[in-house]
Structure 1
């Protein structure tokens, strides 16, 4: 019997691309068809079946969508309502060119024009929007996601900006200098808007392998690549386009491309696959890295696992596997070489402070801390994993209190911070080995044999920060002041939803959440509940209230 396991009929979604996870297909069936009977502009699409199920990405029209699923002699219908978010805050997409170059790099004879780049970016952006809503819903936090500015056909708008520098000049810049140049150029252009954050794609990433030697490691790939950038923070996420050639151009091709096991020719193009070497994994890793950097602009720090570690590398697994399991790794990094390897990767090794001089922070090597799994919903550690099996778990939508409305944007929300601010910019590089995927599998015999491990999820504290964030789908903006910390007492008139503790390298190591009960306006931080502390002399306290007001950059001495 056909069954959609991630949505129920009548559910309302805030995004135009709907993911369906369907199980119960007939054993002899090889494909299934889905037709949106509310969309007269499209024909039904066919989807390949694997191990009794399949995933599908279905474009929705505004309002009710009657989706008809056909597999052999069986049929099922589900109604999904698409209601666009009514939020003045949004994400703006930009394709960055140079004076003498506007194409991205790809295989010989591939179409790499700006128009092709725009179509790929539009498609990828919709996928990330859907992923965010799906993962937050799985956490029981409701379907919330960020909003893009859309054209008349409902596609995300991708602007094109030319930097006043040549490709050669850019290749002599550091990542930080390129980020700064791009940020200043955006702020001085007609695209400057305090109500948006920017995701920019730099066209000039160039991989070169004149000796035609196979690239065996990520460090080798990076050593042969110029113009590669993955930096996010403040109001700008800037990423390279070295693997844009693998991205799908249309939404109906996304799952096929993510399933593509064709090997990457490392003699001619960049391998951004997390060491797995296929087109599908390259697409997932590159697209996932964009989400990681975007999340930094949405005030998320790093976490020991999940999207804000190296879990973004599994984005293709999230969309191509019907039955997923999370990786319940040993909760202490001291007990797992895989965890230590993930935490000490270049992804979280270095951060920079957004000052006019881009002063570097001390590089991260090892973190002296241990963490524990959550014990109760109001006091849990930030390295939480989602449920072991993503099955039918309808979102228990969180309710916002009616007290207060969101505050207007402050100077901390501007693109470039002043030297006194502590907005951190973090990098995603490829010069560290990926965790051993085979070694990360937890031998849980109770799990379905057909399920697949997937690291693409949010750590619990990250999920809560996103769920209440002003840039996600909220119909009303709250007001009120930013939460204040006085000694060990945290106050917010709107009520506190989450408190996250981070070390000086933006790594979250503990959090408290108040989601399943009314948020307290006053909270005495229970330091005694934190079992282990990093070795840093100071820690950062990040707090978000019920209306999305965020306290960040609050550093205090480590409690004894």
Structure 2
């Protein structure tokens, strides 16, 4: 069964010069999602796993987004926290006509309102002046506010210009979610990248110290315009962009052509549900009432960003990481073998129960289909602190769990995946 991602949105904020209608919002989200489809495939390919990506429910057919009319009153929504909104919208989705165990949901809130904060010093100051906002993903739902959606392109012809837009954000009127860059292009890069980051959580990814599941998602602009991205400080820098052509055709085929090096077109993949035993509903909204919380991501301070930018400029980066937007090794491997990313695992999913197990006495993970990835993550925050991968055609039926790094005192969770995309999550004892 194919993954389906309906997307919900209505009226958005923005300058008067922008079309802020529900139709315009839907168009922006649809195009943004397809850009992320292409980016996901290319970054998995760069990690050595071929081109695999998620499928949107409608592809190029029909309206890009569906509008869900919530029963939640707008005043109450604007008084709720991000996590409260995520939980309520998730429950509403799974009790309504859009409910499906074979979908993940990318949703945008129409109630987001920015109340103005002249020269906010920190991102926390900006968030304190923003109501009905979310940037939170986990389980089966990635939820976002719409205050910066006006910076997103509405057509392919606008993509380069929007990423390179150095117009300063008027913080008295508009939310600045640009990781301290202060420009419309910076807002587009950070918010589009944040969508990919939070979607990563819905596909069982944890946090990493860098890359897409770290703060590397702030720089998705560099994937599309090369070194012409907006600098990480408030002084935008224009550089000569690489010559890139991105084309969408029907049925969905995303083709990216770069003068040097050449890039072939990613193949389209259907995505499958994670577990064969799931009875339905959002992952993380169980019948018992327990939940797997979504994960929040906050931007680094301006000082840390400038320090990081200097260290990056002074170091020799690998070609796959020069744009700072990449899947970490275990993240790429997990996506490459994930059931939502492999249609050829459908029969295996139907015929076999979950065979992936953890033997605590021997501290090993085993699966008759072959273990592919083992991670140790901090139980609070989900940061990956250690990992092992088992690539190639030879199946590793049993593998030792890697030791935690020295001086790691945090409670840890074991996360593993096998060749057929089964996922195991097991809390480890504190004395592990």
Q: State whether TM-score is above 0.5.
A: yes
Contact 1:260 1:278 survives alignment (8 Å): yes
Corresponding position: 1:435 with 2:305: yes
1:513 maps onto 2:411 in alignment? no
Q: Which has the higher strand share?
A: 1
**1:407–1:188 distance in 2 versus 1, CA, 3 Å:** closer
Query: What's the TM-score once normalised by structure 1's chain length?
Result: 0.64
| Runs of 4+ with deviation above 6 angstroms | 445-448
Partner of 2:400: 524
* Map of 1:283 onto structure 2: 188
Q: Please state whether the residue corresponding to 2:331 is helix, strand or coil.
A: helix
Give runs of aligned pairs for residues 261-410 of structure 1, distance below 5 A. Answer: 261-321=166-226, 392=261, 408-410=276-278
**Corresponding residue of 2:371:** 496
Map 1:175-214; keep pairs closer than 5 Å. 175-209=82-116, 213-214=118-119
Query: Displacement, 1:177?
Result: 1.7
Instruction: Report the equivalent of 1:52.
Output: none
Question: How large is the Cα RMSD of the aligned pairs?
Answer: 3.0
TM-score with structure 2 setting the length: 0.81
Higher helix proportion: 2
Cα shift at 1:227: 1.1
1:150 corresponds to which residue? 58
2:344 to 459, 475, 485: 475
2:282 maps to which of 408, 414, 418: 414
Q: For the structure 1 residues 498 and 393, does the alpha-carbon distance in structure 2 shift closer, same or farther, using more than 3 Å as the test? A: farther
Task: Count how many residue pairs are aligned between Structure 1 and Structure 2.
Answer: 386
Structure 1 unaligned blocks of 5 or more = 1-87, 97-101, 325-389, 398-404
- CA change 1:446–1:494 in 2 (3 A) is closer
Residue by residue, what CA displacement relative to the aligned partner does 1:363-417 show, whole Å, maximum 9, x if unpaired?
A: xxxxxxxxxxxxxxxxxxxxxxxxxxx975989x9xxxxxxx9862525973413
> Cα 1:198–1:227, aligned 2, differ >3 Å: closer, same or farther?
same
1:532, CA displacement in angstroms? 2.5
Distance 1:392 1:494, change over 3 A: farther
Q: 5 Å matches for 1:10-159? A: 88-96=1-9, 102-150=10-58, 153-154=60-61, 157-159=64-66
2:421 to 542, 548, 553: 548
CA 431–229 in structure 1, closer or farther in 2 if over 3 Å, else same: farther
Q: Counterpart in 1 of 2:232? A: none
1:269 is paired with a residue whose SS is coil
Partner Cα separation in structure 2 for residue 128 and residue 248 of structure 1: 13
Structure with higher Rg: it is 1
- Counterparts of 1:464 and 1:429 in 2: how far apart (Å)? 25
Gap change, CA 1:446 and 1:463, over 3 Å in 2? closer
What is residue 82 of structure 1 aligned with on the other side?
none
